[in-house]
Amino acid sequence: MKARNADALKDWAHKTSTQVAQGYGLIRIEDLKIGNMTRSARGTLDNPGRNVAQKSGLNRSILQQGWGMFAAHLEYKAPGRVEKISPAYTSQRCSECGPVDARSRESQARFACTSCGYSCNADVNAARNIAAGHAVRGGLALAGPANREPQELLLAS
């Protein structure tokens, strides 16, 4: 069963990355540190970890999504057209007016700007910031030349 799931994930990563690479001139993705995100919570004998079982389940779930595999396929199939954007503050920055405020992130799912009142799903707001190339504290990542005009990609979940 594990082999079948792994094959299905590889197939999805290949097909989806091909579709995205062929359809878009500039591709921006979060520069996630997956190795750091999935580091063990076990700890040591002197300082044992907490919530080890929960962290193990989270690690398994992250790795089963194939984020790193998908990003690697994209970089291979669209050389020079993939920009990795720092994920810092993308969920706290308003995609409408721009200020960064931790209070704007009301919950895991809700974003409501304290400056302009714009509200939406927090993941959608972060995705818009990444698509715009907004990095740490509002810096803009500049695009290099591409073979075709960049197009906006919004993936619905």
Under-70 pLDDT residues of the chain: 45, 135-157
**How would you classify the pairing of strands 27-30 and 82-85?**
parallel
Q: What is the pLDDT of residue 141?
A: 38
* Percent of the chain whose pLDDT exceeds 70: 85
Half-sphere exposure of 71 (CA within 13 A, CB side): 15
Asked if 27 and 103 sit in the same domain, the reply is no
Asked if 39 and 90 sit in the same domain, the reply is no
Instruction: Examine the fold and report which residue of 84, 107, 129 is the final residue of a domain before the chain moves on.
Output: 84
Asked if 96 and 57 sit in the same domain, the reply is no
Split into its structural domains, the chain has a count of: 2
Q: What is the pLDDT of residue 60?
A: 86
Cα-based angle 37, 29, 87 (whole degrees, multiple of 5): 50
Q: What is the pLDDT of residue 34?
A: 86
Does the pTM surpass 0.75? The reply is: no
93/138 Cα distance (integer angstroms)? 8
Domain that holds residue 93: 86-143
Q: Is 152 inside any structural domain?
A: no
Q: Is 42 inside any structural domain?
A: yes
CA-closest candidate to residue 27, choices 149, 128, 153, 156: 153
For the segment 75-110, what is each residue's pLDDT rounded down to a tens digit? Answer: 999 999 999 998 888 889 999 998 999 999 989 899
Q: Is 150 inside any structural domain?
A: no
Q: What is the pLDDT of residue 19?
A: 95
Q: Is 71 inside any structural domain?
A: yes
